Structure 1
Amino acid sequence: MNHDLTHLPRVGDALADRPGMSPQALEANFSDLHPPLTQRQAIIESQRCLYCYDAPCIEACPSDIDIPRFIRQIGEHNINGAAHTILEQNILGGSCARVCPTEILCERSCVRNQDAECQPVLIGLLQRHATDHMRFDAHPFERAADSGRHVAVVGAGPAGLACAHRLAMFGHRVTIFEAEAKPGGLNEYGIARYKMTDDFARQEVEFLLEIGGIEIRHGQRLGHDLSLARLRTDYDGVFLGLGLGTSRWLGLTGEDAPGLAPAVSYIKELRQADDLTRLPLARRCVVIGAGNTAIDMATQMARLGADEVTLVYRRGVEAMSATGHEQEIAKANGVRMVTWAQPVEVLLDAGGRVAGMRFEKTRTAEGRLVGTGETFELATDAVFGAIGQGFDGASLGDPAASELARDGERIRVDAAFRTSLPGVYAGGDCVAPGQDLTVQAVQHGKLAAHAIHQDLLAKQEAA
């Protein structure tokens, strides 16, 4: 597939005749989506919390943060205490405060979330306030005495980083093998730029590594530079935080034409761009999908200055996996949403580049999605697919890795994130359970680290 986006008109060229879309305006478009609370706002908001004894917000938090406790600590002006409460359960609490869909998790469960109160306690913004303003003299968590054990972690995304940090707390040495040039996974490469600004992903990783005992080796990809068999031989345990490394495609003729690319490829380029005015931009673009990646892609194209941005989904709005909050963000940025339509053909111009896409209207019949036979066309300069990520099967291509039990394409694990191979654990998006959320990946890594630690202790006692 041709994923090169350089043929698209440059932002500067496309917007040269549009006064107001200056570099400063672009910078403003990609500033914080939700500005942080001031100290006064944080104190006032913290006082809205009822500090429930059996707080439903804790039950709704995938990483088990004691939410009433940290909010009370903010109200008592104990910012370091609040941050410690958050980070002891979620070492990536700063990034999760920015990207976690609190509107369907803790804030939805908040007892203030009722008509008379108008809105829940702003838990996400309070969590960000604590982690943004913490000031520790040293790393807040101590590394235990060296256990003499060495664990390999594959993938420096949220799951791998959380696992590594907790293992370091237990005194184990950790080597993280990462395919990309930077650590952070989706936090570094896959989150909308306006959700995580100011190089925060890098800063958070640097903070995490301050505990010591963790080494990251870049340019190392399982199935290419690494084999699971060798890792099992060389290390006392292996954690796989592989993520979902491949984009699903539509399976249409012409899908490899210039002008059609995975949304995640463009988002990655956008995240790493030093100069937004040099990014390739389509004046008219279509995004296929209904998840948060599709919303992020469509919204960012609109904020870059595209004339027309259309998001197309094969089912109705109620079936979209993107939250209502995310959908409203897209609409507020001028994104047009077309539902009950599925792509059937890529339309090319005389030069073989994308000029449009033909869609068939859909409906449900006896619970199944079917085409109606009625079609329509959308003219576009670029089509971005955001129909989900798949597991990179090549990463489990060596004989040892191929023995891992799978649920579909994902790795099967038990409740403690042990795989079917002794000494091998997995978590994050590469395993079957969960919603593919950053906060859930962090929890997987943390719980897997506890299992690894307990299993290593059991081996030591048996010896």
Structure 2
Amino acid sequence: CYDAPCIKACPTEIDIPLFIKQINSGNLTGSAKTIFESNWLGNACGKICPTGELCEGACVFNHQDLPPIQIGRLQNFATSDAIQNDKKLFTAGKDNGRKVAIVGAGPAGIACACELRTMGYAVDIYEAKSKPSGLTLHGIAAYKITNQEVEDELNYLQKQLSLNFICDHKIESKEQITKLESDYDAIFLGVGIGATAQIGLPGEDKSNVVGAVEYIEELRMNHHNLKVPNRIIVIGGGNTAMDAASQSARMGAESVVLAYRRAKENMGAYGFEYKLAISAGVDSLFNAQPIEILGNGKATGVKFIKTEQTDGKLQNIEGSEFIVEADLIIKATGQAKQKHFLEKIDNLELDKRHKIIVDNQTFQCTNLKYFAGGDAVNGGAEVVNAAYEGKRAAHGINEWLDNK
């Protein structure tokens, strides 16, 4: 369609009408290339993007009492064909003699690396974990995308562009930082936002109280050997809380309670994510503020107090305490930032929420040798946002080095 709103709704601005026309004409290879040229993680994003909030939500069919075109499924279809048939779509550019270090092999780091390789840069991608892909592999519920699908796309890109991953190699010391600055022409930070933050609840340190991000990672990486407990409480109201609750219910927990301190309409989660959780058998508990995790050594439940909104402020209702028993408590209440690591980098400025401050066009940091993207910059968005920021940063790096 003319001036397609779906393109503008996609953070990576994939030419959606073009790739659909290419599919329709039988040109699957061309369609996959159109997608990957805009989004290096186009296959994964076809499955995990909240398309109803982005491209499909903007589809003109929504205004004609018709269901939107299933853009995500078509995107995944075209790119899967390229991956499964090992179609050669890209090659590394001619070596330009420049080297870039990428810290963090998540979506932003991978997208930055791919784009730099097409421009002829030598790129080393340092990753603390044993496998690359970041939250795409470790932090998204398995019912959305399988480990194999994530790894297949990455292996495809690695083969096309000769990506060099250095895994099990955490960059954390001042000495390591100094060496990177000496060895490379530029450094990209795609370090994400770290582990689940402490929320200051009495009893939070008990063994069966876990962070949602860590729990989802354990389910993804060790699901064959992991027994889900019978009674689970998930504390939080964001998309990660929905993932943890949905996955728990799908894996056989008898009772999964999603507890949120405010009203349903105040949740940060997308509406469709909440509906998925409820359809999987999750129970919801709104206006319930956790005040203590109960149990001796091992958690046996959570004490809540009811809340209400008064003059725009959330207030506890005196005398309304109640207990919900559980075998596992999952905290989905936000992640800690990488403040302690980032503060070791000279002249790298962070905002008051400890996010990296960057130029919004080039993604260059206040220490000009550094560029950054993904959750460490945006505070926690979608994989597609990270892919866009990583790609833009690659062009920022290239422009800076060309003009240096």
- Give yes or no for the alignment of 1:95 onto 2:44: yes
Q: CA deviation at 1:209?
A: 1.2
Aligned mate of 2:275, from 325, 328, 331: 328
Please give the residue correspondences for 1:450-461 in structure 2 after superposition, counting only pairs within 5 Å. Answer: 450-459=395-404
Q: CA offsets, 1:114-149, max 9 Å, x none?
A: 3621x1111111111111122666531122210000
* CA–CA separation in structure 1 for the residues paired with 2:96 and 2:163: 14
1:286 to 233, 256, 259: 233
Q: What corresponds to 2:121 in structure 1?
A: 172
Identity of aligned residues (%): 42
Q: Could you tell me how far 1:310 is from its partner in structure 2? A: 0.1
| 2:367 alignment partner, SS class | coil
1:431 to 364, 377, 381: 377
User: 1:397 deviation in Å?
Assistant: 4.3
| Residue 395 (structure 1) aligns with | 341
CA distance in 2, matches of 1:274, 1:413: 38
Count of residues in Structure 1 that have an aligned counterpart in Structure 2: 400
Letter in 2 for 1:88: E
Q: Is the 8 Å Cα contact of residues 147 and 220 (structure 2) preserved in structure 1?
A: no
Cα distance change of structure 1 residues 328 and 217 upon mapping to structure 2, 3 Å threshold: same
SS of the residue 2:330 aligns to: strand
Residue 349 (structure 2) aligned to one of 405, 410, 422: 405
For residues 138 and 123 of structure 1, the distance between their equivalents in structure 2, rounded to whole angstroms, comes to 22
Q: Which runs of 5+ in 1 are unaligned?
A: 1-51
Aligned to 1:245, the other structure's residue is in SS state coil
Do 1:114 and 1:120's aligned partners in 2 also have CA atoms closer than 8 Å?
no
| TM-score normalised by structure 2 residue count | 0.95
The answer to whether 1:447 aligns with 2:395 is: no
Query: Is the Cα–Cα contact under 8 Å of residues 220 and 226 in structure 1 kept in the other structure?
Result: no
What is the aligned partner in structure 2 of residue 339 from structure 1? 286
Alignment CA distance shift 1:125-1:259 (3 Å)? same
The 1:261–1:289 alpha-carbon spacing in structure 2 relative to 1, beyond 3 Å, is same
* Among candidates 190, 204, 218, match of residue 241 of structure 1: 190
Matched, 1:106 2:55: yes
Instruction: For 2:176 and 2:147, locate their aligned partners in 1 and report how far apart those are by CA, in whole Å.
Output: 36
CA distance in structure 1 between the partners assigned to 2:349 and 2:178 by the alignment: 15
Number of the residue aligned with 2:304: 359
Within the alignment, does 1:310 sit opposite 2:310 as a pair?
A: no
Question: In angstroms, what is the RMSD of aligned CA positions?
Answer: 1.6
Aligned-partner SS, 1:431: helix
Q: What are the within-5 Å matches in structure 2 for residues 53-132 of structure 1?
A: 53-114=2-63, 116-117=65-66, 119-132=67-80
Q: State the alpha-carbon separation in 2 of the partners of residues 139 and 194 from structure 1.
A: 29
In the alignment, what sits opposite 2:366?
420
Q: Which residue does the alignment assign to 1:255?
A: 204
Structure 1 residue ranges (4+ consecutive) displaced by more than 4 angstroms after TM superposition:
135-138
Say if 2:308 and 2:317, in contact at 8 Å, map to a contact too. Answer: yes
Q: Secondary structure of 2:375's partner?
A: helix
What secondary structure sits across from 1:184 in the alignment? coil
Match for residue 328 of structure 2 among 368, 375, 382: 382
SS of residue paired to 1:194: coil
Deviation at 1:290, TM superposition (A): 1.0
Task: Give the secondary-structure state (helix, strand or coil) at the position aligned to 1:161.
Answer: helix
Q: TM-score, normalised by structure 1?
A: 0.84
Q: 8 Å contact 1:168–1:211 — kept in the other structure?
A: no
Tell me the SS of whatever aligns to 2:160: coil
Q: Indicate the SS of the match to 2:253.
A: coil
Residue 392 of structure 1: CA displacement? 2.4
Contact 2:193–2:380, Cα closer than 8 Å, also in 1: no
Aligned equivalent of 2:144: 195
Secondary structure of residue in 2 paired with 1:337: strand
In 2, the alpha carbon distance for the partners of 1:418 and 1:226 equals: 22
Q: Deviations over 1:159-183 (max 9, x none)?
A: 0000000000000000001000000
